[in-house]
Structure 1
Amino acid sequence: MRVAMTLSLPRQPSSVTRARQVLTTLLNLTDAAEDSRGHLAVLITEACANAVVHADPDSTVDITIIIENDVCLLEVGNRGRAPDGAGLDAELPAPLTVGGRGLPLIAALADTAAFVAGPPDQVLLRITKHLTEVRTAPVR
């Protein structure tokens, strides 16, 4: 099965919730296990929240979701710049009550995550996550 959707949402906090709801709806069409669904909810939430906070003021948050076979690809883009010195290999800040947890969480939960080249003045974060299938009980 292949499911794909592209969204262009306004740069506002409510777009984070909308993106997560769309992803959840698409995942409901699959046999993805609950742990994969939970990880993907965190991944899209953190990626979109970062885009809302760090994008240029008049930018949109552009999201592509592709679910194909057992892999989910998320791309979250906006006009702005990739973070300097706060890449995906950054450690969690201490204490955990301060900001800066998004990219380390993404790195920990994704199978792959990287800022990839896009048009000039565009930031594009590409995330992949393998879906584990729901295990069904044997029929007796």
Structure 2
Amino acid sequence: MRVSLTMSLPRQPSSATRARHALTTLLCLTDAGEDTRANLAVLISEACSNAVIHAAPDTTVDITIRIDDHVCVLEVGNRGVTPDDDTLAAGLPAPLTVGGRGLPLIAALADTATFVAGPPDRVLLRITKHLTEVRDA
């Protein structure tokens, strides 16, 4: 199965909840297990919360959710700067002590998580999670 959703949400705290609800709805179409769905909910919530906090004023948080067979890819982007105003070619900051708990939590729960290089005023975090755990029928 392949399904995708792209949305631009306002830069406000409630956008993390909206993104989580959209992801949860899409995951209901899959056989992903409860733990995997819960981990993905935390991943999108943390990524969106970070984007809201660090986005430039009066901009949006752009989210893409792609489920392709047994892989879920979350992309959360915003106009702003990367952690510590660094230009990251890829990867997460090392050590993962920048800011709060968001990036370490994302790194722990995702199969992969990386900042994707782009224009200087654009931040895009790509998170991948395999849907290998199957829920009980």
Same fold per TM (> 0.5)? Answer: yes
Q: Deviation at 1:22? A: 0.1
Unaligned runs of 5+ in 2: 87-91
Paired positions, count = 131
Give, in whole Å, the separation in 1 of the partners of 2:32 and 2:110: 15
Matches within 5 A, 1:36-115: 36-84=36-84, 87=93, 89-91=95-97, 100-115=100-115
Tell me how far 1:89 sits from its aligned partner: 4.5
RMSD between aligned alpha carbons? 1.9
- The CA deviation at 1:136 is 4.2
C-alpha contact (below 8 Å) 1:88/1:107 kept by paired residues: no
Provide TM-score, normalisation by structure 1.
Answer: 0.87
Match of 1:28 in 2: 28
CA separation of 1:77/1:88 partners in 2, compared to 1, >3 Å: closer, same or farther? Answer: farther
Gaps of 5+ in 1: 94-98
Q: Could you tell me how far apart the structure 1 residues matched to 2:10 and 2:136 are?
A: 40
Q: SS where residue 57 of structure 2 aligns?
A: coil
TM-score (norm 2): 0.89
Q: Rg: which structure is higher? A: 1
Contact 1:88-1:106 within 8 A present in 2 as well? no
Structure 1 segments of 4+ aligned residues over 3 angstroms from their partners: none
Question: Residue 33 of structure 2 contacts residue 136 of structure 2 at CA under 8 Å; is this kept in 1?
Answer: no
